[in-house]
Amino acid sequence: MIEFKNVTKVYDDRTTAVDDLSMVAPTGQITVLVGPSGCGKTTTLRMVNRLIEPSSGSISLGGEDSTSIDRIQMRRRIGYVIQNAGLFPHHTVLDNICAVPYLKGVKRPEARARAQELLTLVGLDESYAKRYPWQLSGGQQQRVGVARALAADPPYMLMDEPFSAVDPIVRKQLQSEFLKIQVDLAKTILMVTHDIDEALRLGDRIVVLKEGGVVAQIGSPAEILARPADQFVADFLGGSRGYHALSFEPIHGVKMHDTPTLTIDRPAPRTEEAWMVATDALGRPVGWVQPGGLSGPVTTADVSTASAVSLTEGNYRELLDAALAGPGGRAIMANEDGTYAGTVDIDDVIRASVDALTAERAEQ
Ligand code: ADP
Ligand code: MG
């Protein structure tokens, strides 16, 4: 756990970058500091590993005051990932990753073997090990930056806009892969971003900061979306607030239809239906088929693939996306065991979503 108690940072020119910050980044979770440029996010992060000293207040790591930990110990316990990765330009990818393990005195073969594993973990194969940073794309450099921070196996990770320098599609990929890695590693992470979508996607807890380093709100993504503390937070969440909030609403009580199914590798039935749900031999939906005009067994080439939304684990955002993508505004739903459950019309998705959000607001 990282704990800030009444931390203030006033720079020499009297700029107050962080103002009386008290917050906790719980063990094994991702805490995201989010806010507009200049609101003190980087300053807050750099005070944790003492690249910047607070003007007043205290920061502790696992209950230990950070000023009592020596700087070398500090570097080993806290991984630091920055925008543009900050790799050493004259070192290969592998040597970049091994930098801290070498400092710690880990034997070369051991350090290099672990570095290879980490490279695979962040989605880069062996062929990248011998390259130099300039021979990699921005997204690949970012992956190496994450691998380097993980190499020392630190319990804490500080990440300053780690995915901001890459295009939106690569950013989404990196975010998903990072979430997968975190499930296993369960590091205590304090991450900074100016991107509210990224904060909502990655954060277990979100700290919204405003100008002058003042906390606007602290809470889970669902809490912040459902109940923004003030106009600043509401404006910062922007117009997509309702849509985001839907991803925290489990599906229940939505009206389902018994759209008929057909099975891959079996002949298409004679039917008046314009669209049917195709399933595999085990009854699991794979997508939509237009049975008219098909002759012989149905093949996967006849299917417009669509992912089914889980009745038990799905949320209204997935359901809305699936209905928007499905023919005639219909989404396919699956039971807990993956078998076909039924389809849902977009009108019913919208009705149920509005009900769910209204019920959430009414609880305030
Ligand atoms: P963010 O990361 O949220 O964009 P920063 O923590 O970098 O914000 O900066 C917060 C405020 O402190 C800004 O107004 C910035 O101009 C100012 N600031 C940052 N570093 C210094 C410095 N070394 N000296 C004076 N002011 C600084
Ligand atoms: Mg910054």
Domain assignment present for 43: yes
Ligand 1 atom closest to Cα of residue 192: 2
Q: Are residues 13 and 137 located together in one domain of the fold?
A: yes
Residue 303 lies in a domain: yes
Q: Which ligand is nearest to the CA of 9?
A: 1
- d(CA 230, ligand 1 centre) in Å: 24
User: Which residue's alpha carbon is at the smallest distance from atom 21 of ligand 1?
Assistant: 11
Residues 73 and 103 reside in one and the same domain: yes
Condensed to tens digits (0 to 9), the pLDDT of residues 76-135 reads 889 888 877 778 889 999 999 998 888 888 899 999 999 999 898 888 888 999 999 999
Q: What is the CATH number of the domain that holds 149?
A: 3.40.50.300
What would the pLDDT profile of 162-187 be if each residue is shown by its tens digit? 888 777 777 888 888 889 889 988 99
Q: Are residues 21 and 136 in the same domain?
A: yes
Ligand 1, atom 7: closest residue by C-alpha: 42
Quick: pLDDT tens for 71-86. Answer: 888 878 898 888 777 7
Nearest CA to ligand 1 atom 18: 17
Same domain, 174 and 241: yes
Distance 44 CA to ligand 1 centre (A): 10
Domain limits at 298? Answer: 261-356
Whether 362 shows a pLDDT value over 70: the answer reads: no
Does the pLDDT of residue 289 top 60, yes or no?
A: yes
What pLDDT, in 10s, does the model give residues 189-231?
999 998 888 999 899 999 999 999 999 999 999 889 888 999 9
Q: Which amino acid is at 149?
A: A
What are the distances in angstroms from CA 321 to CA 318, 329, 349? Answer: 5, 10, 10
CB atoms inside a 10 Å sphere around CB 179: 12
Return the SS3 of 123.
coil
What pTM, to 2 d.p., does this model score? 0.77
Ligand 1 centre and the CA of 85: distance in Å? 20
Strand-pairing partners, residue 288, are 277, 304
Residue 323's CATH number: 3.10.580.10
Domain boundary among 215, 248, 281: 248
Q: At 29, phi and psi to the nearest 5?
A: -120, 165
> CB 11: neighbour CB atoms within 10 A?
11
> Looking at residue 95, what is its pLDDT?
93
More confident residue, 163 or 264: 264
Query: Residue whose CA is closest, atom 27 of ligand 1?
Result: 11
Q: Which amino acid is at 217?
A: Q
Q: How far is the CA of 41 from the centre of ligand 2 (A)?
A: 6
The predicted model gives 250-255 an average pLDDT of 88
Scanning 290-363, the segments in alpha helix (DSSP H) are 316-325, 346-362
Ligand 1, pocket-test mutation among 8, 9, 10, 11, most atoms within 8 A of CB: 11
Q: What band does 270 get if pLDDT is binned at 50, 70 and 90?
A: confident
In this prediction, residue 227 carries a pLDDT of 87
| Average pLDDT, integer, range 281-288 | 95
